Every structure is written in structure tokens, then in C-alpha cells.
Structure 1
Amino acid sequence: MQELPLRCKSCKTPINTEDITEIGIYKIPAYRGSAYIRYICSYCREFGEATFSLEKMEDVARITRKKKKDKPKGQITIDEVIEFHKDLENLKNADFLKDA
């Protein structure tokens, strides 16, 4: 069981990879360059969220890779989220996105 450098905001129990429900990137301009981890604490069953910068995304991906083996096929992985985000950045200059 891999432990993340993250603790539950309610009971301060360490959050494990099994507790993570979602990892994503904010699309809101105010949070540009930020990502999040959403979790449900295995001890107190409280829902929580932690925000971090995109520079730390590689560290989070490395920690959560072991969990990737346990996921059924068809779920989106953190690597796919990162790749999708980079593809969206490349689409900003695309002609079909400009107003007609």
C-alpha cells in the first residue's frame, strides 16, 4: 500500500492510493496551472480534495502508477489526463476554434 504525502483534512489519517477517487486538472482560469486529487478517507469516510501545482503532477503520477495495474481497462489514467491537457494547449491556436 503506497502512502501519499497527503492527510485527511478531517481526521489527519494518511491518504493511500486506494482512497483516491479522482485526479484532474482545473480548467478554471483562476486555478490555471493547478491540479487536484479527490479522495474518500478510509478511516472517517469524509470526502476531501487537495490542490497542487502541475509541476508536481509527475510525482503524483509516479506514486499512483502502482494503482494503475489494479484498475480495470477502460478507465482514464493520469498519464492520459496529462497527455489530453497538453493536446488541449496545442489546440488553442487551431483555426476551427476561432469565431466565424
Structure 2
Amino acid sequence: MSEQTNAVLAEVAAERAAQDAIFGQQDLPDGTGITGDVERANRARHVCDVMFERGEGTFRDVFYEEVMEAMAESDPVKLRAELVQAVAVGVKWIEAIDRRAAQ
């Protein structure tokens, strides 16, 4: 793993610690897999595909697709996998922002 990724993950860990300090442990319901979420995820996937086919794809498109896929999932194992993917795209996006800022 790169130093840049480690730095971003350290920031994420610090934010998680801050959340726990403020809110304590939270065991909320997932709230995913509700009516319409699968269709929204399919639309987000389609839009992402179209944008990249046009050469206009962005991190927003990819991140939104990953988040919507997570929102559509009701199976806890699959939901966890989708959330990992969404968070990984978020980390990658942050790394790209940091690289642009360093130029």
C-alpha cells in the first residue's frame, strides 16, 4: 500500500475515533434494500457506463454507482462487500484530490 493510501486511511481512522467519541457505539439498522433501490442502482450503473463511454466519467459517477449498489443490497455479506468497494473508491478519490493539490 502506498504512503498516500496509508495517510488517507489514517485520516479515516481518526474520523472514526472522533465519531465514537461523539456518538459512542451505534448499532443502527442498515436501512438498505428498500423498494426502488435496485432500480436506482441500475440507473446509476447505466449513467456511469454512459459517461465513461463518452469519455466524461468522473469519480462522482463511480462513487455514486458504488453507493447506490450498497443501498440496493439487503444481504449483509453482499452489503458489506459493496460498502468496502464504495469506501475504497472514496479513498481513491481523496488521493486524487491530494495529488492535484500537490501540483
TM-score per shorter chain, which class? 0.3 to 0.5
Using structure 2 for the length normalisation, give the TM-score: 0.32
Which structure's relative contact order is higher, taking Cα pairs within 8 Å and 6+ residues apart?
Answer: 2
Using structure 1 for the length normalisation, give the TM-score: 0.32
Bigger proportion of residues as helix? 2
